[in-house]
Amino acid sequence: MSEDHGASAATKLTRTEFAVVRAYAQGMRPVDIANRYLSDPDDDDALTENQAIARILALRDRLVQFALQHDRPEIAEMFEALRGRSDVGMTRRVDALSSLEGLGQGRPASGHEVGLWFGPSLARRLTEAGIHKISDLASLANARGSSWWRAVPRIGPKSAEVITRWMIEQRRPPKDDNKALIEAYVVAPSEVSRRPAIIPLPLGPQMAYPVPLEHMQQQPSDLPTSGTARSDLELVRQWLDAKPRSPHTRSSYRKEAERLLLWLARERLRLTDITVESLQRYAAFLRAPEPAAFWCGPASPRDRVHWRPFEGPLGASSQAAALRVISAMLKSLSKAGLFEGSIDIVETPEADAGAVGSDGPGGLARSDIDGFLDWLGRQVEPKWQAALAAALLVRDGFRLSELASIPCEALQVKEFEACLSWHEAKSRSRAIAPDTLASLQKHWVRRGLTASPPPGAALLGPTGYPPTRRGTAKRLAGPAAGYGASGLDQLLRAAWKTYAGTQPKELPAFTPRKIRSAAA
């Protein structure tokens, strides 16, 4: 991988360099210019005319960039056409040079092209990655943090070091807002390991920065609390540790629990204070966490002080998922006798789904869903066949969380109908349509299962796994490793996105639940 260390492509020309361009603009022969201004007294070899022209044009290019950095495109255009001969514009060029010579070093503006401030190689790689302006570069760094450069092909740590240090040194022009070009949490690659570690803090409105669950301390004694009641922190940790969960599921639950604890602390509330109104306010908060400087930042290590619980506002589906986790936590704590709040309040997140908002105007019609299912039925890729089976099961009334826990052996085929019978807290049974049965059996064949799958085989599962630690573990688990609820959700959303891209009109927002609930 090549590394380009030219962070600032154009600095102000020296007085001698201005004299070179001025002489060239006035029609002086390149060789004479070279002998007078560019020759090295320690070099016995004289410059040829071609070498002299090349050096002069390189200075001309720097002059053009310098003019553009100062928002003087008319001067830049004047010298871009310069080819070493005097013409009727000679006087204008000389006057323009004099005006540029009196300017100081330029400052980057958000609208400047990256080519104005970086060498050709770096600028080309940035542009090929869709980073055309300084504002694009700053936005990428602010969104992804110190690892921004990993999203740019052919930018390595050495080039990232140069670019990041340059951005840290810059401030926006006064006509913008004169703020730093990038946020304080963006540091050069060499500084990443030296970022300050997070210091545990007690939960409360006085927190200077948010801390993850493992670094939270008990609430201060001045917050309202009962002498015998357990702290919210103890309750949440006990809920997380109550039963074994996969690392992915536990991480997801922990994320939502710590977000709620932090929000409650900032609002001077406790779990027992949760009401319908407070849940609605929390849902609104998820749509736009404010102040953003406290709540939002790029993905970061949990033991560093710049960690933040959000990367940005949550979309409608993420808001709904967050409220489902909170609902499950409160229900579990209530059933265990650990939560003193009203059971009626525990039931409110599902009823309050309207507070989450929709993903866009309009709604899906039944014909949209039928078209989606027809499209899935014509696909030959194994993952889309799995998506079809999942979509048809959702249409038949199953939830994704149910499908993730139902084994193949739950299928019972009788003379005129098929159903899935499984056990949770109690025995459950639900009929499935003939096309669902056919799709499900076809999916099993693609997974290499027989008509009588082994006990414990997952109802729905991928045919291949990514080369990751989690993927390897699932592959070694064999047929028992199926799609989780989040995996099925992602699969159906990916299928819809692909399908929507084939349609001539823009379709309304999609969630897997709409497969069943779309209006006729």
For position 318, what pLDDT does the model report? 82
The strand pairing partners of 407, in sequence order, are 458
pLDDT at 464 over 90: no
Alpha helices in 175-244 (DSSP H): 232-241
State the pLDDT confidence band at 360, using cuts at 50, 70 and 90: very low
State the pLDDT confidence band at 10, using cuts at 50, 70 and 90: low
Q: Note the pLDDT tens digit of each residue in 130-140.
A: 898 888 888 88
How far apart (Å, rounded) are the C-alpha atoms in residues 84 and 56? 9
**Cis peptide, bond prior to residue 291, ω within 30 of zero:** yes
Q: Which amino acid is at 490?
A: Q
Q: Which two tokens stand for residue 395?
A: 């249409």
Alpha helices in 129-246 (DSSP H): 134-144, 157-169, 232-241
How far apart (Å, rounded) are the C-alpha atoms in residues 165 and 186? 10
For position 168, what pLDDT does the model report? 84
Q: Which two tokens stand for residue 121?
A: 């190689």
Instruction: Write the DSSP symbol of residue 130.
Output: T
Q: Note the pLDDT tens digit of each residue in 56-112.
A: 778 877 777 777 777 777 777 766 666 544 444 555 555 565 565 555 555 677 778
Question: What is the distance, to the nearest Å, from the Cα of residue 63 to the centroid of all Cα atoms in its chain?
Answer: 39
Inter-residue contact 516 to 395 (CB < 8 Å):
yes
Q: Which two tokens stand for residue 36?
A: 């007078």
Inter-residue contact 9 to 121 (CB < 8 Å):
no
Inter-residue contact 495 to 511 (CB < 8 Å):
no
pLDDT at 210 over 90: yes
For position 350, what pLDDT does the model report? 41
How far apart (Å, rounded) are the C-alpha atoms in residues 270 and 253? 18
CA dihedral 425, 431, 434, 439 (to 10 degrees): -10
How far apart (Å, rounded) are the C-alpha atoms in residues 516 and 288? 29
Residues 6+ positions from 436 with CB-CB distance below 8 Å: 389, 392, 393, 395, 396, 418
Q: Which two tokens stand for residue 173?
A: 């022009």
pLDDT at 33 over 90: no
Q: Is 12 exposed, middle or buried (0-12, 13-18, 19+ CB in 10 A)?
A: middle
Cα→Cα distances 290→103, 152, 309, 310, 502, Å: 42, 30, 12, 11, 38
Is the C-alpha dihedral spanning 374, 377, 378, 382 positive or negative? positive
DSSP 323-377: HHHHHHHHHHHHHTT---S-HHHHTHHHHTGGGG--SSSS--BHHHHHHHHHHHH
How far apart (Å, rounded) are the C-alpha atoms in residues 106 and 64? 12
Backbone angles phi, psi at 519, to 5 degrees: -70, 145
How far apart (Å, rounded) are the C-alpha atoms in residues 93 and 381? 65
43-57, 357-371, 494-508: range with lowest mean pLDDT = 357-371
Inter-residue contact 324 to 349 (CB < 8 Å):
yes
Helices 382-395 & 485-500 angle (0-180, nearest 10): 110
Task: Name the CATH topology of 366-517.
Answer: hpI Integrase; Chain A (1.10.443)
Cα→Cα distances 180→137, 248, 363, Å: 13, 37, 42
State the pLDDT confidence band at 387, using cuts at 50, 70 and 90: very high
For position 87, what pLDDT does the model report? 46
Cα→Cα distances 130→120, 124, 145, 161, 264, Å: 15, 10, 18, 20, 40
Backbone angles phi, psi at 171, to 5 degrees: -130, 150
Instruction: Write the DSSP symbol of residue 426.
Output: S
pLDDT at 346 over 60: no
Alpha helices in 145-270 (DSSP H): 157-169, 232-241, 247-266
Q: Note the pLDDT tens digit of each residue in 149-186.
A: 888 888 888 888 888 888 888 765 555 555 667 887 88
For position 226, what pLDDT does the model report? 47
Average pLDDT over residues 324-347: 71
Inter-residue contact 4 to 121 (CB < 8 Å):
yes
Instruction: Write the DSSP symbol of residue 477.
Output: H
Radius of gyration of the chain (CA): 32
Is the C-alpha dihedral spanning 295, 297, 298, 300 positive or negative? negative
How far apart (Å, rounded) are the C-alpha atoms in residues 86 and 52? 17
**Structural domain spans, the chain:** 15-101, 114-194, 201-222+230-356, 366-517
Place of tokens 């740590």: 157
Q: Which amino acid is at 176?
A: D
Cα→Cα distances 349→69, 167, 255, 281, Å: 54, 44, 17, 12
For position 250, what pLDDT does the model report? 85
Q: Is 432 exposed, middle or buried (0-12, 13-18, 19+ CB in 10 A)?
A: buried
How far apart (Å, rounded) are the C-alpha atoms in residues 195 and 185? 9
